Amino acid sequence: MRVPAKLNLHLTVGPLRDDGFHDLVTVFHAVSVCDEITVERGEASLVVEGDDADLVPRDGSNLALRAVRLLADRTGCDPGVAVRLVKRIPVAGGCAGGSADAAAALVACDALWGTGLSRAELADAALALGSDVPFCLSGGTALATGRGEHLTPVLSSGRYAWVLAVADGGLSTPAVYGELDRRRATGPPELAGDPAPVLTALRGGDPAALGRALSNDLQPAALALRPDLRTVLETAVGLGALGALVSGSGPTVAALAPDAATAHRIAAALPGRSGCRRALVAHGPVPGAQVGG
């Protein structure tokens, strides 16, 4: 089973709620950098391979293992499952890598056990695992509100070429939201505003307009914690990207290229520069967690 990384093409963050989350208005976009997961009945275990596999937690905090346990609890199925994960999505990178693994584990175990859960029940389990997990089930391009769980598919034409610049180390999502709250408490608001320009560009299949419209309220906070990412953003645009932004809470930077050839050229030039350890070429939109995909 393959499951894609996500980008946020637009992200407006509302005020902090009483439950510790922020209300969002975001445009999720699934891209073709995919983790692979397989599940088999057996002794409960986890094997992780692939890029930066050593950075993935192996204990009970691992989101794929948490997904197996949650689904077993909710359905009464035997949680004895051997999970094998091949990582390609940047770890702790703002691309929903852990959430993607959780979504894939849910769908894979649902198929393995034949639970008969409805889509709504699966989506509910997904949200219990993390704000991005419901989108990772569906993929494509979607407008999301709430914590990210109220999803509406976005009319989108064309296929977009992306470069993902993977940074050294990760960023903690709560730390980036916390930095945003601190900045808002002490300084002028930095608001991404309306998602309309992104939605219009997607509907028209207009990469240049999409590049100009990309926006993320978390970006100033992520840049405050990782100033080196500014160089990546500027370098990508200097190399021909139509636009670039920090992906979610970062530190991965996503750059939109006018075509696949330019994406490959940017990806070849970025690694080794400040803030970029390696670069991946991807396209979107792609479907979410898929059995046999």
| Encoded amino acid at 183, one letter | R
Rule CB under 6 A: say whether 132 interacts with ligand C5P. Answer: yes
Closest chain position to ligand C5P (CB): 131
Considering only 90, 93, 97, 130, the residue that binds ligand C5P (CB under 6 A) is 130
Rule CB under 6 A: say whether 145 interacts with ligand C5P. Answer: no
The residue among 10 and 115 lying less far from ligand C5P, judged by its C-beta, is 10
Q: What is the DSSP string of 159-221?
A: -EEEEEEEPSS---HHHHHHHHHHHHHHS-------SHHHHHHHHHT-HHHHHHH-EETTHHH
Rule CB under 6 A: say whether 21 interacts with ligand C5P. Answer: yes
CA-based nearest residue to 65, from 116, 129, 120: 129
Name the minimum Å distance from CB 217 to ligand C5P.
11
Name the minimum Å distance from CB 133 to ligand C5P.
8
Residue 18 annotated in active site: no
Residue 87 annotated in active site: no
- Give the phi and the psi of residue 153 in degrees, each rounded to 5: -60, 145
CA 91 to chain centre: 10
Report 149-188 residues binding ligand C5P (CB under 6 A). 173-174, 177
Rule CB under 6 A: say whether 135 interacts with ligand C5P. Answer: no
Segment contacting ligand C5P by CB under 6 A, of 32-40, 129-137, 192-200, 275-283: 129-137
Residue 227 and residue 251 in contact, taking contact as beta carbons nearer than 8 Å: no
Segment contacting ligand C5P by CB under 6 A, of 125-133, 213-221, 237-245, 285-293: 125-133
Tally Cβ neighbours within 10 Å of residue 25: 19
The residue among 131 and 216 lying less far from ligand C5P, judged by its C-beta, is 131
Q: What is the DSSP string of 72-137?
A: HHHHT----EEEEEEE-SPTTSSS-HHHHHHHHHHHHHHHHHT----HHHHHHHHHHH-TTHHHHH
The residue among 87 and 147 lying less far from ligand C5P, judged by its C-beta, is 147
Q: Which of 35, 110, 132, 217 is catalytic?
A: 132
- Residues engaged in binding ligand C5P (CB under 6 A): 20-22, 24, 130-132, 147-148, 173-174, 177
Known catalytic residues? 6, 132
